[in-house]
Structure 1
Amino acid sequence: MLLHSAISGAGAGARMCMANQWSFGRPENESENAAMARALAQSFGFEEERARRWMQSAGEDTHRVLRRGGRVAATLVLVDMGQFFGGHRVPMGGIAGVAVPPEERGAGAALNLMIACLRELRERGVPISTLYPATQTLYRRAGYEQAGSWFEITVPTAAIHVREKELEIRPATREDQSILRDLYLRRTVHCDGMLDRGTYIWDRVWEFRGEKTLGFIVHRNGQAEGHVFYLQRRPAVWGRFDLQCTDLVATTPAAARRILSFLADHRSMAQNAIWFGGPTEPILAHLPERTFEVKLNFYWMIRIVDVAGALSARGYPARMKETIRFEITDDVLPENSGRYVLRIEGGRGVVERDSASGGGAGRLRMDVRALASLFSGFRSPAELILAGQMTTDDPQMAQAAGWAFASVGGGPAMCDMF
């Protein structure tokens, strides 16, 4: 993909390099792979060998580079996944490993890289993109906005006063992958923001940054009801270790109590059990006292790549029948700008371009960034209005949008970092 400037039309704050020709795509040879590894190492502060292992684990089809003058000016990892909203899977492009070599910084490479990647996703029919931002300013310029949370949950093993062993537990093996996937989907499909994991994320459950995990399945007469995977992470000085969970899933109350009992059984040497998820993690309801800590680690961001595609892919309340009209502006992907009508019935939405006249009357007016926060259920219409990110002259339509996009269980959240 050749670009004289990928960021033309990206707003007054975008740095344009009109005299330079950019090109975007997968690395074409070993020299570009090496340049990508160097950029990752220099940007994230680790050795090139670790960067190459990361690239290998993600798969060569995920590698992207932006070139300028024949040199690699920026890199990223693009992982095809899905994300659940309203009980339905929305195809999603996950962005990781955004890196710019020190000598290329300050010339607009990162923004050009992101917008070229968004163009690719739109051409492929992927309606949303999600990332964990190292800096929000860059990604907001590319059209991303806060859309969900990633919480760290810490439970001291000595404070788990649950001793229930009704269910059995056995080690997990790679042959159990289909069982594990089924358990995970049963737990997450109705949790807004959770990933429909691909191979890259599942591999990180089994082996995280070169460390193999220990995995166990909780079952009743051979029927799986939950699982837990963890690393034994010891602090810098010798002493007790923490159980750093790479996955923890309970699909029944009995499985939740059995997993808690299993974690408590490690208390002679393990100080804490740590995992990630939302602020209202159901397994914590089985603890008699608030002997745990739930700490916000990150707000992740979403980019609506295709407005109509995103609104029609997610789910809505099953008994809702409503029509909501939008007027959207997008200064990066101008083809998204315009008026839309969303008709909701039977838990699904049908989206069309809105040809009705009448100025902006009877519509929810916002830019594509605010739409991302609304789409995920992270912010309500009332909150967006208070933030100055949405306007309307139809309070009833704003209320209907609040019902349509409302997220349950503490708001959209993820248990995976990528």
Structure 2
Amino acid sequence: MLTRKATEADEREVKGLWGYCFEKPSDPFFQWYFENVYSPETVLVGEEKGQIACDLHRRPYTINVRGERLPVDYIVGVATHPAARGKGFASELLRGAFHMAASEGKPFVTLMPSAASYYLPMGFGFYCHQWERRASPEELAKISRKALSCRTISSEEDWRELASIYDAYTDGRNGYTLRDEVSWKSHIQGQLVEGYIALVYDERGPSGYLFYTFDDRTLIATEMAFARESGRRGLYAYMAGHRGSVDTCVWYEPIDDMSWMYWNDGAEHTYISNKTFPYMLGRLTDPVTAFDGLPCPEGVEGEIAFQLADSFLPENSGIYVLRAGNGHISALKTDVFYDLKLHIEDISGVPMGSAIPEPAFCIGAGALAQLFMGSADLSDLLRLEKARWLTKNEAGRSRTLALGKAMLPKEKNWINEWF
């Protein structure tokens, strides 16, 4: 199979594959996407015998990672024509997408899976879950509080009020998309194609917004953000106001949200249904570029060496060293020097000392992505057997765990992009 970027001449086949696997060409979102978002250079196609057998769309985003801006590809629309399935074409295409991202200075890619079991063996790891919450409008009213005022938005020109709420909502969070005027306007346009946007206010101004649609008698909120608790309760009241029109309201909130502890009558177990929603996978395409220069707390100093086992991108496998100092991490792949050290020691019988660090643990690509994003720390991954010790020295293990936790602490991850 030939893997290449799409050209203008491929548009008909790309549209055809999207229409076959996702929305129909008559669907309003299909029309909006290909008129306003699609560009051939962001689509990777797999060509077999002169025809496009599979493709994927590489949506460029910038996300916040531990306070730094990181360019990424958000992979959407992974599609294979049924006539070409079962041949490994999609896996080959994704591998090509990883190589292309790395060559373009994008050391991390994201993907929202329809079936995570397909992508996890490719080195992806979950870095973001959300709570999916459900309640009838009548029950939701019990934990709501009517907003000072509210309105619906019908134009992308109102993006600044939404942006002010989003900035407050993401303060202290990690992994979210950095949105500017252009991306906000596109985000709003995409929502208004088939849905609605509500904005609530309190005494201090815009306090919360809701992106939502209707499916039969269900209100589905695909994005909810609030600057203050009054905004959250005001949005609950807005959804509760649909009593008589809908039977159920569905909305999503960050996995670290603990508001259910303060709901009336323990709503978590009575009138609010609350379950985890696996949302976003991440995958490192270039570990050195990803970690090098990453901020870490001031005063943290030391180095950690580890072995990466990456079966899907074997060229990434090897020995890495992360050094912390002056508020940043420096990264180096040292497997070439490590192999040379072992060879010299083997033929000479003379130890070369610790100038080249021994790896303390071995970790897989998916787990390393979770460590990078802070959805887990090193002690979590070792306890869950997503990483395993290579060193038998107990004191060395303790030092590695302490430094790993200080260098790469857990983060409150949240992201909410659908296309």
Query: Could you say whether these structures have the same fold, taking a TM-score greater than 0.5 normalized by the shorter chain as the test?
Result: yes
Structure showing the higher helix proportion among its residues: 2
**Count of residue correspondences:** 386
2:16 match: 38
Aligned mates of 2:144, 2:125 — CA distance in 1: 43
C-alpha spacing 1:62/1:23, structure 2 compared with 1 (3 Å): closer
Give 1:374 shift.
Answer: 1.9
Aligned residues of 2:148 and 2:200 also touching (Cα < 8 A): no
Match of 2:347 in 1: none
User: What does residue 58 of structure 1 align with?
Assistant: 37
What letter corresponds to residue 34 of structure 1 in structure 2?
A: R
Aligned-pair distance for 1:36?
1.7
Counting only pairs closer than 5 Å after superposition, residues 164-313 of structure 1 correspond to structure 2 as 164-165=145-146, 167-172=148-153, 173-197=155-179, 203-208=186-191, 210-220=193-203, 223-231=205-213, 233-235=214-216, 241-281=217-257, 284=260, 287-289=263-265, 290=267, 291-312=271-292
User: How far 1:67 moved relative to its partner?
Assistant: 1.6
Report the CA distance between 1:167 and its aligned residue: 3.8
Q: 1:318 to 1:26 in 2, by over 3 A?
A: farther
Looking at structure 2, the residues matched to 71 and 276 of structure 1 have their Cα atoms a distance apart, in angstroms, of: 40
Q: Is the 8 A contact 1:129 1:304 kept in 2?
A: yes
Contact 1:206 1:213 survives alignment (8 Å) = no
Secondary structure at 1:228 match in 2: strand
Pairwise CA distance, 1:210: 3.8
- The alignment status of 1:400 with 2:403, answered yes or no, reads yes
Shift of 1:200: 6.5
Letter matched to residue 183 of structure 1: I
TM-score (normalised: structure 2): 0.79
* Residue in structure 2 matched with residue 142 of structure 1 by the alignment: 122
The 1:316/1:242 distance shift into structure 2, 3 A limit, reads: farther
Cα deviation 1:228-262 (Å, max 9, x = unaligned) = 2322x252xxxxx3332232211122322333333
In structure 1, C-alpha distance between the alignment counterparts of 2:147 and 2:253, rounded to whole Å: 26
**1:288 offset after TM fit, Å?**
2.1
Conserved in 2, the CA contact under 8 Å of 1:370 and 1:384?
Answer: yes
Q: 1:67 to 1:176 in 2, by over 3 A?
A: same
Check if 1:77 corresponds to 2:57.
yes
Corresponding residue for residue 133 of structure 1: 113
1:306 offset after TM fit, Å? 1.2
Structure 2 CA distance, aligned partners of 1:316 and 1:153? 34
Q: CA deviation at 1:282?
A: 5.5
Aligned-residue sequence identity (percent) comes to 20
Task: Rate the CA distance shift 1:180–1:282 in 2: closer, same or farther, 3 A.
Answer: farther
1:80-159 matches, cutoff 5 A: 80-159=60-139
Residue number in structure 1 paired with 2:351 = none
Residues in 1 aligned to 2:293 and 2:42: alpha-carbon distance in whole angstroms:
23
Instruction: Provide the secondary structure at the position in 2 that maps to 1:193.
Output: coil
Pick the aligned partner of 2:360 from 360, 363, 368: 363
How many angstroms apart in 1 are the aligned matches of 2:308 and 2:144? Answer: 54
- Tell me the residue number matched to 1:161: 142
Instruction: Note the C-alpha offset of 1:400.
Output: 2.9
What's the Cα RMSD here? 3.2
State the distance in 2 between where 1:362 and 1:75 align. 38
Residues 132 and 300 of structure 1 are in contact (CA less than 8 Å); yes or no, is this contact kept in structure 2?
yes
Decide whether aligned partners of structure 1 residues 207 and 40 sit closer, same or farther in structure 2, where only a CA change above 3 A counts.
Answer: closer
Q: Secondary structure at the match of 1:243?
A: strand
- Amino acid in structure 2 at the alignment position of 1:80: P
Secondary structure of the corresponding residue to residue 142 of structure 2: coil
CA distance in 1, matches of 2:124, 2:82: 24
Q: TM-score, normalised by structure 1?
A: 0.80
Deviations 1:380-413 (A, max 9, x none): 433433444322323221343234433355xx34
Structure 1 stretch displaced more, 100-109 or 208-217: 208-217
Structure 1 unmatched runs, 5+: 1-19, 236-240
Return 5+ residue gaps in structure 2 as ranges. 342-353
The alpha-carbon distance between structure 1 residues 174 and 364, as it changes in their structure 2 partners (threshold 3 A), is same
1:280 shift after superposition: 3.6
- With over 3 angstroms needed to count, the CA separation of the structure-2 counterparts of 1:339 and 1:208, relative to structure 1, is same
Distance 2:302 2:247 in 1: 51
Where 1:247 maps in the other structure, the secondary structure is strand
Aligned residue for 2:264, secondary structure, equals coil
Paired letter, 2:92: N
